[in-house]
Amino acid sequence: MRKIPAPSVNPENKVFFDAASQGKLLIKKCAACGEFHHYPRAICPFCFSDKTEWRDAKGTGTVYTCSVLRRGVPEPYCIAYVTLEEGVSMLTNIVDCDLDKVSIGMKVKVVFKPTDGGPPVPMFTPA
């Protein structure tokens, strides 16, 4: 199995990775303007309010764009932007499937993958 590097955990994303350790996907919502955003930030990127709150994401979304990396890596993998149902996009990997079948618009759902010495990271697999 591919070794996934540990994410760098900081005060802005610690809650996110604590939840990931429990198999939960969180995203941030701004209480001031109502927009979701990702990656997690203390300050809303849309209106610069600091009134951002954690919300449970459904964990389902659609592949927005994807690319399979085969050269210079020990094992091929698929890097993708997934647009969650809540409307935010996550840079992630599509896993546990035939990488040749991954396509734009494919419905996917979150799975959590262990990392090398860090908290698990959310990735996606065909729904």
Whole-angstrom distance, CA of residue 38 vs CA of residue 127: 21
CB nearer Zn ion, residue 9 or residue 32? 32
Which range binds Zn ion by CB under 5 A, 9-17, 23-31, 90-98, 103-111? Answer: 23-31
Q: Please answer whether residues 82 and 114 qualify as being in contact, where contact means their C-beta atoms are separated by less than 8 angstroms.
A: no
The site that binds Zn ion (CB under 5 A) totals a number of residues, namely 7
Which range binds Zn ion by CB under 5 A, 9-17, 26-34, 63-71, 107-115? Answer: 26-34
Q: Rounded to the nearest 5 degrees, what angle is found at the Cα of 116, between the Cα atoms of 114 and 122? A: 35
Cα dihedral 72, 75, 76, 81, rounded to 10, equals -100
The 34-73 site mask, x for binding Zn ion (CB under 5 A), equals ----------x-xx-x------------------------
